[in-house]
Each structure stands twice: as C-alpha cells, then as structure tokens.
Amino acid sequence: MAYAIKKTDSEIQQGVLRELKWDTRVEETEVGVGVNRGVVTLTGTVSSWAKKMAAQEAAHRVAGVLDVANDIQVKPAGSLGRTDTEIAQAVRRALEWDVFVPEQRIQSTVSNGIVTLEGNVDFWSQRDDADRAVRNLTGVRGVNNRIQIRSTRVSQEISDAIQDALARHAAREAKRIKVTVYGSKVTLSGPVSSLKEKDAVLGAAKGTVGVAEIDDQIRVDY
C-alpha cells in the first residue's frame, strides 16, 4: 500500500501561492500566506468579500492543507464604495433573480457593508445559494448567514435519504463515510481521497430535505 509523502510547511506555502496565482478571481500580490504545521493563515487586503472567499477556497484546494485561518481584510476601493441602502437594494435584486433562492422567505440587513441574511428555507443548498447570490456584489464587506432550514422529517428519514444520495453521487466514498443524525443535525465523518469527493459528499447532505445543520468531520487523505 502506497502512502502519501507529507509536505513541509514551505512546500504547502509555495503550493498555496501558486494556486492563488492560478485563480483569476484573486490578485495573489494582495494576499500573504503563512503556514504552521499544515495550518494556513491568509493575510492582506482585498477589495471585495468575493475575493476573500476565493482566496480561502484556493488555499483549501492545495494538498497538505489541514485548516485555513482567513485574516484577509476587505476594503472596497473608493470608486466601488456603495451606501448600505444601495447594497441592500442590490441584495434584494440578486435574491430575486436567482431561481434557486426562495427570496420571499429571506430578509437581509446591511450595516457598514456587512450583509446579514435571515429567514427559513427547505434545503441547506438554498441557504448556500442565497449566500453565493450576495457575496459577489460590489461593496459587500462580509456575509453573516443566519438562514435557518425548516425541518419536518425525523432522524431515520434524513439518514436514509442521505445514504441514498451518497450512493448516487459519491458511490466510491459512500461506504467509508459515517452518517450520524440527531434530530435535524447531521454529522459526516470518515476519509475521502480528494476535495472534489468531499464536496460530493457534502453536496449529498446539503441537498437532503430536513438537514438543518452539518458537522463536517470528513478528512481528505491525499
């Protein structure tokens, strides 16, 4: 059985820097990268919340990265500045235009560029869709997602539905993933072989009716 060679912090740092350079959503010169025992710390200043999240996602894609501390600051450029009223109006339009978001069940509050989303939806994936709809808007400095998932299913129904979804979407990993359901909270644990496969497992849970909370304990064994 072959074992992956553990990367040094220096190798991980160089990998993250290359990934940031490759990702066209991020200006790699704006982001500083520090690594300590596999934990990556991102620093610097960017002009949008979307860039901050893109840098975080880029770091998580690099093999060997265990955790990411995102200390990047968001400071919109003067020409891109919007009032909270303008941002709130843009948020409402973005929610209305996204066909996957039940916008009438979601309310937003904007304060100093920070958008707080509240309300209730049926699927975790709808919660994520609402988040994505607003985080790329000009002037947004952060998103505080407090949307709740409305659950009417019992634990066993949720567990069975997730197992079925895993069999369809992440068949290779399904047997290695442990699914524990307590009420509407789902805990996923076990190993996967890539970040893409981890996303497939999480996607199966997020798309299941009744899942209101996910405790992600999945580890990626590169």
Dmax over Cα atoms in the chain, in whole Å? 59
The string of DSSP codes covering 48-106 is: -HHHHHHHHHHHHTSTT--EEEE--EE---GGG---HHHHHHHHHHHHHH-TTS-GGGE
Q: Distance between CA atoms of 214 and 202, rounded to whole angstroms?
A: 9
Q: Please tell me whether residues 178 and 125 are part of one structural domain.
A: no
The range of the structural domain enclosing residue 36 comes to 9-74
Asked whether the beta carbons of 52 and 78 are under 8 A apart, the reply is no
Q: Please tell me whether residues 40 and 63 are part of one structural domain.
A: yes
Q: Which pTM does this prediction carry?
A: 0.67
In a domain, 3, yes or no: no
pLDDT in tens, 27-57: 778 899 999 988 999 999 998 898 999 999 9
183: domain CATH number is 3.30.1340.30
Q: Please tell me whether residues 117 and 70 are part of one structural domain.
A: no
List the one residue out of 165, 157, 125, 153 whose CA is nearest residue 210: 153
Q: Please tell me whether residues 131 and 177 are part of one structural domain.
A: no
Q: Please tell me whether residues 69 and 90 are part of one structural domain.
A: no
Q: Please tell me whether residues 142 and 127 are part of one structural domain.
A: yes
What is the enclosing helix (H) or strand (E) of 142? strand 142-145
Asked whether the beta carbons of 47 and 105 are under 8 A apart, the reply is no
Give, as one character, the DSSP assignment of residue 180. Answer: E
Q: Please tell me whether residues 116 and 165 are part of one structural domain.
A: no
Q: Please tell me whether residues 91 and 125 are part of one structural domain.
A: yes
3-class secondary-structure state, position 197: helix
Q: Distance between CA atoms of 7 and 3, rounded to whole angstroms?
A: 12
Q: Distance between CA atoms of 197 and 217, rounded to whole angstroms?
A: 14
Q: Which two tokens stand for residue 214?
A: 């996910």
Domain termination site, one of 74, 93, 118: 74
Q: How many structural domains is the chain composed of?
A: 3
The CA radius of gyration of the chain, in Å to the nearest whole number, is 19
In a domain, 1, yes or no: no
Domain termination site, one of 29, 52, 74: 74
Per-residue pLDDT in tens (0 to 9) along the chain, 222 residues = 344 557 899 999 999 999 999 988 887 788 999 999 889 999 999 988 989 999 999 998 888 888 899 999 998 776 456 899 999 999 999 999 998 899 999 999 999 999 999 999 988 889 999 999 999 898 899 999 999 988 766 678 888 888 888 777 666 666 788 888 888 888 998 888 777 788 888 888 888 888 888 898 888 775
Q: Please state the length of the chain.
A: 222
